[in-house]
Amino acid sequence: MTAKTSYLTSTIGQKQVVALSGLSLSLFVLAHMMGNLLIFVSPQAYNMYGHALVSTPLIYVAEAGLVLFFALHVFLAIRLTWLNRGARPQAYAVSAKGEKATHFVQKTLLAQGLVILVFVILHLITFKYGKVYWVTYDGVTVRDLHRLIIEVFSQPGYLTWYLVALVVLGLHLSHGVSSALQTFGAAHPQLTPLLKKIGLGYALIVSLGFISLPIYVYFIY
């Protein structure tokens, strides 16, 4: 009656892959957010940063890694959520209130993830594979992403959708970052409460940093 042990089919093993890919993606969004902030320096700084990124062959390695992590994260999270739903075939008539309640952010992780998935696909279509304008700085012709950004975020529809998606990303990170650390086994009476705060701070910084760009374009630029 000994059950077979296998890391990648075990719940803990799968959770650890979700956690690892999630943490990697968290680092990516932080880097992406910081890159975006160059728009506050100048259109040239913003465009040259984008140009520098796509000019290095390392971009293909980075992109492949991102696609892999994203796919693993989405696939395993959906698979585990499916398993989790199956572990309680009959739902409770009443849900807990007060101290024993589960936070809505933690109950809606899959829904948040699906919003982010749709967002990422549309985001790539809008920008990476979107309209191409060119601009020349000191004899170097680069893609004028700045112009596209201004064009897109001047539309209230895009602004609203981005605000919604980025708040959802913030909620996802607010649970995800510290949860991933717990999944790896980081738990400490003094450090864990601090890591939880760092996770929340991380989510807030990433999401507000991202939000600053469309807000700036729509209301100030």
Partner 1 sequence: MAGTTGKTLNLKLRIWRQSGPDKEGSFVDYEAKNISTDASFLEMLDVINVELVKKGEDPIEFDHDCREGICGSCSMVINGSPHGPDRGTATCQLHMRRFQDGQTVVVEPFRAKAFPLVKDLAVDRSSFDRIIQSGGYISVNTGNAPDANSLPVPKENADMAFAAATCIGCGACVAACKNASASLFVSAKLAHLALLPQGQAERDQRTLKMVAQMDEEGFGACTNTGACSAACPKEISLENIARMNRDYAKATLKDRKTSV
CA distance 60 to 152: 26
CA distance 221 to 84: 47
Q: Rule CB under 8 A: is residue 86 a binding residue for partner 1?
A: yes
For residue 214, the minimal CB distance to partner 1 (Å) is 31
Pick one of 97, 129, 138, 219: the residue that binds partner 1 (CB under 8 A): 97
Q: Rule CB under 8 A: is residue 90 a binding residue for partner 1?
A: yes
Span interacting with partner 1, options 44-52, 151-159, 174-182, 204-212, rule CB under 8 A = 174-182
Strand (E) or helix (H) holding 163: helix 156-184
Span interacting with partner 1, options 45-53, 105-113, 143-151, 158-166, rule CB under 8 A = 105-113
Q: Which long-range contacts (C-beta less than 8 Å, at least 24 apart) are formed by 112-116?
A: 112/168, 112/169, 112/171, 112/172, 113/73, 113/74, 113/77, 113/78, 113/172, 115/164, 115/165, 115/168, 116/165, 116/168, 116/169, 116/172
For residue 170, the minimal CB distance to partner 1 (Å) is 18
What crossing angle do the helices spanning 109-123 and 58-86 adopt, rounded to 10°?
150
Q: Rule CB under 8 A: is residue 157 a binding residue for partner 1?
A: no
- Whether the Cβ atoms of residue 135 and residue 144 lie closer than 8 Å to each other: yes
Pick one of 57, 189, 190, 220: the residue that binds partner 1 (CB under 8 A): 189
Pick one of 42, 55, 56, 95: the residue that binds partner 1 (CB under 8 A): 95
Q: Rule CB under 8 A: is residue 220 a binding residue for partner 1?
A: no
Span interacting with partner 1, options 22-30, 44-52, 100-108, 113-121, rule CB under 8 A = 100-108
For residue 176, the minimal CB distance to partner 1 (Å) is 10
Mention every residue, 6+ apart, whose C-beta is less than 8 A from residue 37: 209, 212, 213
For residue 73, the minimal CB distance to partner 1 (Å) is 14
Tokens read off for 219? 């209301």
- Whether the Cβ atoms of residue 74 and residue 113 lie closer than 8 Å to each other: yes
Pick one of 84, 141, 155, 160: the residue that binds partner 1 (CB under 8 A): 84
Binding site for partner 1 (CB under 8 A): 1-16, 80, 83-84, 86-103, 106-107, 109, 175, 178-179, 182-189, 192
